[in-house]
Amino acid sequence: GEVQTFTTEDVKVEASAPTVTATTATFSGKVTVKEEDFESLYFGIAWSEEKNFENGVDEIEAEFQDNSTFVVTIEGLKMDKKYYYAPYISQLSSKYGEIKAFTTASASMSIAVSEITQTSVTLEGQVAEGAKDDSIEYGILYSTNENLEVGAEGCIRKALTDILDSDGKYSLKIEG
C-alpha cells in the first residue's frame, strides 16, 4: 500500500497505509535514526475522529521489532467509522507527519437459504471481508411469528460466533 514518509533533522519514519478491520487498524513501517538519538526517541501513530486533530489525539507508541521496523495495532475502534492518523516522533515534543484517513469496516454479513424442508431450514452466509473480528458477536434472529424482537414470544437468537470458519463463512441448520 501507500507509504507515508516523515522526516525531521535526525529521524525518518516510513509508515504504510493501515490494514483495517471493523475494530482495528494495523500499521507497519521503518524508522531510521542516528544511534545517539535512539534512547530518547519515541515514535508511533497518532489518531483522532476529527480531521486535523482539532481536539487532541490518541497516540500509540511503537516498538522496534528488528532492523528498525515496527508494527503497531490500534484496537477498540468503532465499526464503519472514519479516523484520521499520522505518524509521530517525540523527543522533547511531538511532531506529526501528514494527516491521512482510514475507515473501519462495517460488520455486515450475508444470509441465504440453501435448503428448506417441512421441518428445517439451512441458512448459509459470510461475514463481510475485513469485518470478521473476535470482539464482535454475529448472529441470526428468527421467529415463528412476525415479532422479531429479542425476548419476544417465539423469537430465538442464535449466535454464529462458534460456527464461523476462518474465512467468516457459516452454515446453520434450524429444525423444529
User: Could you read off the pLDDT of 7-21 as tens digits, one per residue?
Assistant: 666 677 788 889 998
Q: Could you tell me the pTM of the whole model?
A: 0.66
Structure confidence at residue 11 (pLDDT)? 72
Other beta carbons within 10 Å of 93: 6
Structure confidence at residue 55 (pLDDT)? 82
Give pLDDT tens digits along the chain (176 positions): 576 665 666 677 788 889 998 889 999 888 877 665 566 778 889 999 999 888 888 999 888 777 678 899 999 898 889 999 998 888 777 788 888 999 998 877 888 999 999 999 999 988 876 566 666 777 888 887 787 887 788 888 888 878 888 888 889 898 87
Beta strand pairing status for 58-61 and 42-48? antiparallel
